[in-house]
Amino acid sequence: MQNLTHRSKDVDRRPLSLWEKMYIPSVAKGMSITFGHMFKKVPTIRYPEETRPFSPVFRGLHVLNRDEEGRERCTACGLCAVACPAEAITMEAAERKAGEENLYREEKYAARYEINMLRCIFCGLCEEACPKDAIYLSETFAPSNYARKGFIYGKEDLLIPDPKTQASDLAAAKGQE
């Protein structure tokens, strides 16, 4: 059969020459290779102490954004859920009552908002679909968990801290990114 690439090498089946039969030269060659590796730089990154920086376009865990006054931006339009190719997003809408204007920016808001991180493929289409700039993909990834339940992120997991009441938390979260 004709080779498609020229990378394959034919097996040399000739009997060993006397030099090769002595083994010791080739053993010495192999041992010099392993000895040389002792002085090579170790490429390991000691993970919990050292982390690799994410690239600027990294798409990680989602956050639900608030505006400057600390109100949730999401209006539960459902465009993100429609855009999601993995159908990872579900939500339930509710109407804003009087006196809740400081909590929700729009008249309709998401009472329940869940993303299944096991389904999510982190494509970022939800981010692009959102007309209200409410959902963003951050630079972290989902920590491991023992149960599948732990990977279904609700509103309390996704919402960023309120810049007015929890300013220090927000700064910490940003600093960690």
Partner 1 sequence: MTLLALDWFLLIEKLILIAIVITASLVIAMYATYAERKVAAVMQDRIGPNRAGPFGLLQPLADGLKLFFKEEIIPDSSNRFLFILGPCLAMLTAMMTCAVVPWGSSVEIAGRTIQLQIADINIGILYVFGVVSLGVYGIMIGGWASNNKFSLMAALRGASQVISYELAMGISLIALLMLTGSLSIKTIVEQQVGHVWNIVYQPVGFLIFFVCAMAECNRAPFDLPEAESELNMGYHQEYSSMKLGFYLFSEYINMFISSAIMASLYFGGYDVPFLGHAHLAPNLLAIIGVVAFLVKIFIFIFVFMWIRWTLPRFRYDQLMNLGWKALIPLALANMLVTAVVILLRG
Binding residues: 74, 77, 80, 84, 120, 123, 126, 130
Rule CB under 8 A: is residue 31 a binding residue for partner 1? yes
Instruction: Quote the CA–CA distance of 130 and 132 in Å, as a whole number.
Output: 6
Residues 41-60 that bind partner 1 (CB under 8 A): 41-44, 46
Using only the alpha carbons of the chain, give its radius of gyration: 28
- Tokens 């509103």 correspond to 155
159 to 108, 138, 154: CA distances (angstroms): 17, 12, 9
- Answer for the pair 162, 68: CB distance below 8 angstroms, yes or no: no
Applying CB under 8 A, among 14, 40, 52, 97 the residue interacting with partner 1 is 40
Rule CB under 8 A: is residue 33 a binding residue for partner 1? yes
- Answer for the pair 133, 73: CB distance below 8 angstroms, yes or no: yes
User: Which residues are annotated as part of the binding site for [4Fe-4S] cluster?
Assistant: 74, 77, 80, 84, 120, 123, 126, 130
Site stretch for partner 1 (CB under 8 A), options 25-33, 92-100, 104-112, 169-177: 25-33
Instruction: Quote the CA–CA distance of 152 and 142 in Å, as a whole number.
Output: 10
- Answer for the pair 158, 65: CB distance below 8 angstroms, yes or no: no
Applying CB under 8 A, among 19, 25, 27, 87 the residue interacting with partner 1 is 27
Residue whose CB is less far from partner 1, 32 or 165: 32
Q: C-beta of 33: minimal distance to partner 1 in Å?
A: 8
Binding region for partner 1 (CB under 8 A): 27, 30-31, 33-35, 37-38, 40-44, 46
